[in-house]
Structure 1
Amino acid sequence: MNERKSASNKPNNLVNVALVAAAVAFAAQPARADDPAKLLKAMADYTAAQKSISATFESDIEVVTPELEKIQFTSSGRMQLSRPDKLRISRTGGYTDVDFIYDGKTASIYGNNAKAYVQADLVGSIDQLVDLIQAKSGAAMPGTDLLLTNTYDVLMSNVVQAQHIGQGMIDGVECEHLAFRGADIDWQIWIESGARPVPRKYVITSKTVTGAPQYTLRIRDWKNDAVVEADTFVFKPPAGATKVDLDSGAMAEFDEIPPGTPSGAKK
């Protein structure tokens, strides 16, 4: 009887071993390979649907010296947005203290270090504003491509390869880690998992620049439907501030890196 019980248990033992082996093999597989374009599109649609947003951020820009030494410059700031045509970005670093304000009609940039500001009449949406400023002046506007209503189209315009790397943790929050390749730049983005797919980290690698410097943006305290005070998007020149032309040498004071520093990662 005991021998028969032992013999009858052998198939069950084999099944258990097979199930354990299958579980181990499954656990050893990479994280789910969701479509990276689909995940990015979900983020873009979600952020574009938000009428008002506020967030804080930290940005790092790397430069490579002629001696091939990498130097990194860091700044932090705050972003406030009210669609369709109001935006404020404040950024402070070791070499910059800048406030950018757009009220739908006028764009103002104030450099506290230079005690100077520039203004330009730019009537339109935030999308039109970003396109025009980047095209005309190349001004650094960290992560503004993540705030556009057509973010997906802009980000995917030069992509030749995309992959879902897996999951990552940013500030203790699980995120979907995506990587994209282009002819001149590679970029990565970490998007919060779940029902609130907001960007949490964004890294751009400039492949055509010696040393492949990177630009990194970390986004925190993202709030939708943020309460924004009425005067948030109104620029009032501080006492003693001087108005300068957009092409003035004083504009160098508005950059994230000190004058004379080699060019860094593209933003």
Structure 2
Amino acid sequence: MSVTFLLALSVASPMRAEEADARKVLKAMSDYVTGQQHVQLKYDVDIEVITPHLEKLQFASSGEAALSRPDKLRVTRTGGYTDVELVFDGKTVTVLGKDSNTFAQIELPGSLDQMIDRLRAEHSIEMPGADLLLSNMYDELIAGVIEAKHIGHGVVDGIECEHLAFRNQETDWQLWVERGPAPIPRKYVITSKTMAAAPQYTLRIKSWDTDTPPDAKSFAFAPPQGAKAVEFNALADVGELPAPAEALKE
């Protein structure tokens, strides 16, 4: 056996173990999360935007989410430029723009997964963090991965986590997964490699509750007083980016 081959083994084996560890932690997290019938959580989001002058700006928002599998979801997102709520009752998706007091509804009967897929495909609403809510989360996250690493340990909001890193053709993404019997995602970072200055999307899970089922009323939409119904494409600020950031890209 040649010295070169021995050296190759000494380098390649840890790399294979590192990738296997990353996939193992990701699978354990996915199995745990998708096994929860009810989830209520609070989150923070940071979104980076690159201006035409290559200035990197960051926009912050916070929100809450409640879901009951397989077909109920309510999400809020509030930032300095927008205040939006999405409600899905298994048949209809409603998006409310609280600042403008306008709402739009579309019929999307089916599961939570089907609703998210159709919003992305038919209405260009990406919702990157929604990947962590899908029933086939592991398959969705691992699809297209060309490199996986178990970086080590990290601490997010005082909670010790496993730090994972993955690479696709167009993005790099990282996950911090809480250590212990409840391996939930605590931080999720997506870095775009197709844009100058590589802007990032960062999601932090601030609280996570699977013991308290959401009230059934959480998934029933009641228009606020004076709210006006509009076409779905007439709603402003339903995506992750605030309007000023969109203007900066023009």
2:35 maps to which residue? 49
Larger Rg computed on CA atoms: 1
Structure 2 residue 110 is matched with structure 1 residue 124: yes
Alpha-carbon deviation of 1:113?
Answer: 1.2
Q: Deviations over 1:72-114 (max 9, x none)?
A: 0100000100001000001100111001000001000000112
2:132 maps to which residue? 146
Q: Which amino acid aligns with 1:35?
A: D
Calculate percent identity across the aligned residue pairs: 50
Q: Which amino acid aligns with 2:230?
A: V
1:106-121 aligned within 5 A:
106-121=92-107
1:218-237 aligned within 5 A:
218-237=204-223
Q: How many residues align?
A: 230
1:257 maps to which residue? 242
TM-score with structure 1 setting the length: 0.83
1:148-187 aligned within 5 A:
148-187=134-173
Alpha-carbon deviation of 1:164?
Answer: 0.3
Q: Is the 8 A contact 2:97 2:103 kept in 1?
A: yes
1:1-267 aligned within 5 A:
33=18, 35-248=21-234, 251-255=235-239, 256-259=241-244, 260-262=246-248
181-190 or 135-144, larger mean C-alpha shift? 135-144
The whole-number CA distance in structure 1 between the counterparts of 2:174 and 2:248 is: 24
Alpha-carbon deviation of 1:167?
Answer: 0.2
Alpha-carbon deviation of 1:210?
Answer: 1.3
The whole-number CA distance in structure 1 between the counterparts of 2:233 and 2:57 is: 27
Q: Which amino acid aligns with 2:29?
A: M
Q: Which amino acid aligns with 1:244?
A: V
Alpha-carbon deviation of 1:56?
Answer: 0.2
The whole-number CA distance in structure 2 between the counterparts of 1:81 and 1:176 is: 25
- RMSD of aligned residue pairs (Cα, Å): 1.4
Q: What is the SS of the residue equivalent to 2:118? A: helix
Unpaired runs of 5+ in structure 1?
1-31
Q: Which amino acid aligns with 1:183?
A: Q
TM-score with structure 2 setting the length: 0.89
Q: Deviations over 1:125-165 (max 9, x none)?
A: 10111111011112243511001110011011111000000
Q: What is the SS of the residue equivalent to 2:247? A: coil
Q: Is the 8 A contact 2:119 2:126 kept in 1?
A: no
Q: What is the SS of the residue equivalent to 2:231? A: coil
Runs of 4+ in 1 over 4 A off after TM superposition: none
After superposition, the Cα gap between the structure-2 partners of 1:238 and 1:140, relative to the gap in structure 1 and judged at 3 Å, is farther
Unpaired runs of 5+ in structure 2?
1-16
